Amino acid sequence: MSQQSLQTKLVSVVQHVDQHGSSVPPIYQSTTFKIGSLEDDASQPYDYTRSGNPTRTVVQHQIGKLYDVDAAQVLAVSSGMTALDVILRALVLTHKSRVPTIIAGDDLYGGTQRLLTHLESRNHARVLHVDTANYDAFVELFKQQEHVDCVLLESPTNPLLKVADLPRLTHFIKSSNDACLVAIDNTMMSGMLCNPLKFQCDVVYESATKYLNGHHDIMAGIVVTRTPKMAQEIYFMVNSTGSGLSPFDSWLLVRGLKTLGVRLYQQQHNAMVLSHWLENSCGFVDKKGVKGSPRTRFVGLKSHPQFELHKSFNSGPGAVLSFETGSYEHSRRLVSSRKIKIWAVTVSFGCVNSLISMPCKMSHAAIDPALRQERDFPEDLVRLCCGIENIADLQNDLLEAMIDADIIELRDEGKTIYNKLNGHIATNTVGQGKLPNIYEEFFSQDLVERGSILTSRAKL
C-alpha cells in the first residue's frame, strides 16, 4: 500500500476496542482504573490518570503521526508553556554542581521570555540572548562559551517574522557539542509545515492551543523527542507534577487535528492574498529601505529577505503576518476602530477566526519600551493572524477600519486605494478572481493535475 498523506492519517483515529463499537474513541473521564489482578499489575496499562489515560494515549498517537515518530516519543501536556517547563526540568536543569547555560533568541514568545528570566533570576540557569536569524552572531556567541547545555530556537519569530536557519544551526550545534540539547518551539509552523526531527534536533514542542487544536477552546502542549529515552525522562516530570493533558482536552485535540490540513490550507491562502494586497494595493511597502517606513512582513512574500531560506525547510508560510503603517498613532486608531467587525482584537493565533493585534500594546507590552527600541521593535506594528473566513470579507473589514483610522482613502467608486500616509496609489483588488466557482475550478482543469494540487493543499 502506498504511504498515506498526513491529511488522511490525522482524520483516522487509532483502532480501539470498544464494547459498543463507537466510531469515535470515547472520553475516559475517570481518575482511576480498576486493578484486574493483584498478582500481575505490571501488565495493567492504566491505574491513575495523572500517570496515564486512554484518551491522552489516543492524542499522543495522532501527534506521533504528525511528526512521523512512534507514540512512545510523544507527550501531551496541559499547555505550550508546560511543554517547555517539563523539557527544561527533565533535560536541562539536571546538574547538581553546575548552573546550565541556555542560548535563546532575542525575539522570543513572551511567556518563554518570562520563564527564562525567572530561571535566570533564581540562578537556576544562565540565559544568553542572540538574534538567531543571524547565523554568524549565533556561532560567535556559542563558541565564546565554555559549555552550552541547551539552545532554544523558534522560527519564524512572532510577530517580526525573522527566520532562523534551523537545519544549519542544528547541524552546527550538534557537530560542535553533541551533548548540547537543541529544543525547537515549532508553534508558528506546526508539524504539518515543518518537522525539525528530520534535521536531527533533540526535542520539538508546540503550543497545541494554536494551530493543532485551532478553535481557541482549550490550552494544550505537545512534546516530541528524538529518542524514546528522552520522552521517558520527560514523562517522569509529567507524572510527578500532574502536567499531562486532561481527558476532555485530549479528546478535543484529537478532533481539532482531523481538520488541521483544511484549516491550514484556507488560513495560508487567506494570508497569501492578504499580504499581497497590503503590499501592492494598500501601499505598506518599504520602497527605500528606510527604518520606520511602512512595510508588510510575511514569510510567504517574495519581498521577505529570507523568503528562500524559509521555503527551504518549511512546506508553507503559516498564517501570521504583520505590517507597519509608518505611524504609531494611525496603527493604534486602526486596531481600536469600531469598524472592525470580523477580526477579533486579541492575542494568540492559529484559530479558525481571524485575529488582529497591536503587539507593543498587547502581547509585548510587558517588555520594557527601552528594550523594545534596542531590539528594533516597531511600535506601529499591526499583527494579523488569518482564520478561515472568506478572504474578501476579511479585506473589506480591514479596509473599513483603515478608512476610519484615516490611513486609506477609496477613490473611483472604490476601484482605487490611496494611502494617505505615503501617497501610494493602486488598484483595489478585493474580490478579484481569486475564488472561482468550484465547478469552474474543477472542470476547467486537467483532473490529474488537479488531483496533485489537492493532495498538497496544506503545503500551499
Ligand X SMILES: *Cc1c(COP(=O)(O)O)cnc(C)c1O
33, 103, 209, 344 from 36: Cα distances, Å: 9, 48, 36, 51
Q: Does 270 bind ligand X (CB under 6 A)?
A: no
322 binds ligand X (CB under 6 A): no
Element (H, E) at 55: helix 54-66
Are 392 and 381 in contact by the 8 Å Cβ rule? The answer is: no
Nearer to ligand X, 54 or 256 (CB): 256
Segments in 145-212 forming alpha helices (H): 166-176
Residues 40-79 that bind ligand X (CB under 6 A): 79
* Residue 56: all three cell numbers together: 491522552
Residue nearest ligand X (C-beta atom): 80
Site string for ligand X, 131-170 (x = CB under 6 A): -----------------------x---x------------
- The reply to whether 81 sits near ligand X by the rule CB under 6 A is yes
Q: How far is the CB of 186 from ligand X (least distance, A)?
A: 8
Q: Which is nearer to ligand X, 110 or 228 (CB)?
A: 110
> In 3D, which of 398, 394, 428, 423 has the Cα closest to residue 411?
428
CB 138 within 8 A of CB 186: no
Q: x/- contact string, 93-132, with ligand X (CB under 6 A)?
A: ----------------x-xx--------------------
Nearest to 156 by CA among 115, 114, 109: 109
Binding flag, residue 193, ligand X (CB under 6 A): no
Number of Cβ within a 10 Å radius of residue 118 = 12
Strands (E), 193-241: 203-207, 221-225
Q: 25, 54, 64, 80: which one contacts ligand X (CB under 6 A)?
A: 80
Q: At closest approach, how far in Å is the CB of 373 from ligand X?
A: 23
Euclidean distance between the first and final Cα of the chain, in Å?
26
Tell me which of 62, 132, 187, 267 binds ligand X, using CB under 6 A. 187
Q: For the segment 214-253, give every residue that binds ligand X (CB under 6 A).
A: 219, 221
- In the list 85, 185, 202, 249, the residue contacting ligand X (rule: CB under 6 A) is 185
The window from 69-77, 207-215, 272-280, 289-297 that contacts ligand X (CB under 6 A) reads 207-215
Amino acid at 450: R
Segment lying near ligand X (by CB under 6 A), choices 66-74, 185-193, 285-293, 356-364:
185-193
C-alpha cell at 120: 535566570
Per DSSP, 67 falls in state: T
Which grid coordinates are listed for 357? 493585534
List interacting residues with ligand X (CB under 6 A). 79-81, 109, 111-112, 154, 158, 185, 187-188, 207, 209-210, 219, 221
